């Protein structure tokens, strides 16, 4: 009951902020909505028992990446946003329609499969919820089974950092 209320509230917020992100005129507002959206997503994570992921979401996404966006927005500081320019190709409408239809399709697929008899997935879902998402478990996985992907990811970050510095420097 409580969970349902929480879920629907959060879902509403997430989608609402999402719509705002996509539609807001002012880029800064976009960013603000994005942060709000992310915080709500983080709460969804908590609901799903993934505290560590939630913290990462706040720390890295909300606290790091989006700040970066905000910086760039403020650095660029456009007087007239590009969306004010005429859309010559009328593409946006096609995109919008396509996306809506696809959403309908996906939902249809989901609803259709949810109506079917319990599959293995559903059976697994029936078992009681465990706190699988605790930090130790994730940590153990990261540093044992997924050590190499982890290292690759760190290398990727390093490369990205260097690349960003190179790109952003006025003269090298």
Partner 1 sequence: MRFIWLIPLLPAAGALVNGLFGIRWFSRTVSGLLACATMAGALGLSLWAFSELLGLPADARVHDVVLGHWIPPMALQTAHDIGMFQVPWQFRLDPLSGVMILVVTGVGFLIHVYSTAYMKDEAPGGYARFFSYLNLFCFFMLVLVLGANFLVMFVGWEGVGLCSYLLIGFWYEKKSASDAGKKAFITNRIGDWGFILGMFLVFFTFGTLDFRAVADAAGAMPIESAGFGVLSIICLTLFIGATGKSAQIPLHVWLPDAMEGPTPVSALIHAATMVTAGVYMVARNAVLFQHAPHVMQIVAIVGALTALMAATIGLVQNDIKRVLAYSTVSQLGYMFLATGVGAFAAGIFHLMTHAFFKALLFLGSGSVIHAMAGEQDMQKMGGLRKYMPVTFVTMMIGTLAIAGIPPLAGFFSKDEILYQSFLNNRFLWLIGAVTALLTAFYMFRLILLTFYGTYRGAPWARVAAPAAAMEAAAHGVRHPLDGQAQKDDHEVSHGAADVRAAGHAHAWHGPHESPRAMTVPLMALAVGAIVAGFLGIPQALKGANTIEHFLAPSFESHTAAAREAGAGAAAGAEHGPGAAAAEEGAHHLSTAGELGLMVLSVLIAVAGVLAARRFYFTHPELPDRLAARWRGAHALLFNKYYVDELYDATAIKGTVAGGRGLWTFDRVVIDGAVDGSGWLTRVSAWGSHMFDKHVVDGLVNLVGWIAEEGSFFVRRLQTGLVQNYALLMVVGVFAFLTLYLVAR
Partner 2 sequence: MTPITPYHYLVLSAALFMLGVIGVMTRRNIIIIFMSIELMLNAVNINLAAFSQQLHNAVGQVFAIFVVAVAAAEAAIGLGIILAFYRNKETLNIDEMNILRW
Partner 3 sequence: MVDIYVVPILKIVVLLSAVLLAVTYLTLLERKVIAWVQVRLGPMRVGPQGVLQPIADAVKLLLKEDITPSRADKWVFTLAPIVSMVPALIAFAVIPFGATVSMFGHPVSLYIADVNVGLLYIVSVTSIGVYGIILAGYSSNSKFPLLAGLRASAQLISYEIAVTMMLVSLVVVAGTLSMVGIVNAQLSQGVWYVFLQPVAFVILFIGGLAETNRAPFDLPEAEQELTGGFHTEYSGMRFALFFLAEYANMIVVSAVATTLFLGGWLRPFPNVHVLSFLGFVPGWIWFLLKTFVFIYVFIWIRATLPRYRYDQLMRLGWKVLIPLGIANLVVTAILKVLL
171: region left, alpha or beta (phi > 0 left; psi from -120 to 50 alpha): beta
Q: How far is the CB of 92 from partner 1 (least distance, A)?
A: 8
Q: Which is nearer to partner 1, 22 or 106 (CB)?
A: 106
Q: Does 95 interact with partner 1 (rule: CB under 8 A)?
A: yes
Question: Measuring CA to CA, which residue among 5, 65, 13 is closest to residue 39?
Answer: 13
CB 51 within 8 A of CB 134: yes
Q: Does 22 interact with partner 1 (rule: CB under 8 A)?
A: no
Residue from 26, 92, 119, 154 touching partner 3 (CB under 8 A): that is 26
Helix (H) or strand (E) holding 151: helix 147-168
Q: Which stretch binds partner 1 (CB under 8 A): 13-21, 69-77, 95-103, 119-127?
A: 95-103
Residue from 47, 74, 152, 164 touching partner 3 (CB under 8 A): that is 74
Q: Does 71 interact with partner 3 (rule: CB under 8 A)?
A: yes
Report DSSP state, residue 128: P
What sign for the dihedral angle of Cα 149, 153, 158, 162? positive
Q: Which is nearer to partner 1, 25 or 116 (CB)?
A: 116
CB 28 within 8 A of CB 76: no
Report DSSP state, residue 117: P
Q: Which residues bind partner 3 (CB under 8 A)?
A: 26, 28-29, 32, 35, 39, 51-52, 55, 58-59, 62-64, 67, 70-71, 74, 134-135
């Amino acid at each position: 009951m409580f969970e349902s209320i929480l879920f629907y509230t959060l879902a509403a917020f997430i989608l609402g902020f999402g719509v705002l992100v996509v539609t807001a005129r002012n880029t800064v507002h976009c960013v603000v909505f994005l942060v709000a959206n992310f915080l709500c997503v983080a709460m969804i994570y908590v609901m799903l028992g993934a505290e560590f992921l939630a913290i990462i979401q706040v720390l890295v996404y909300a606290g790091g990446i989006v700040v970066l966006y905000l910086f760039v927005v403020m650095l660029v500081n456009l007087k007239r946003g590009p969306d004010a320019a005429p859309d010559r190709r009328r593409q946006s409408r096609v995109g919008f329609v396509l996306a809506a239809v696809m959403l309908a399709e996906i939902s249809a697929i989901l609803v259709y499969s949810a109506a079917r008899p319990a599959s293995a997935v559903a059976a697994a879902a029936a078992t009681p919820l465990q706190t699988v998402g605790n930090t130790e478990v994730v940590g153990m996985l990261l540093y044992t089974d997924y050590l190499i992907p982890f290292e690759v990811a760190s290398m990727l970050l390093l490369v990205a950092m260097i690349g960003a510095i190179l790109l952003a420097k006025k003269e090298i």
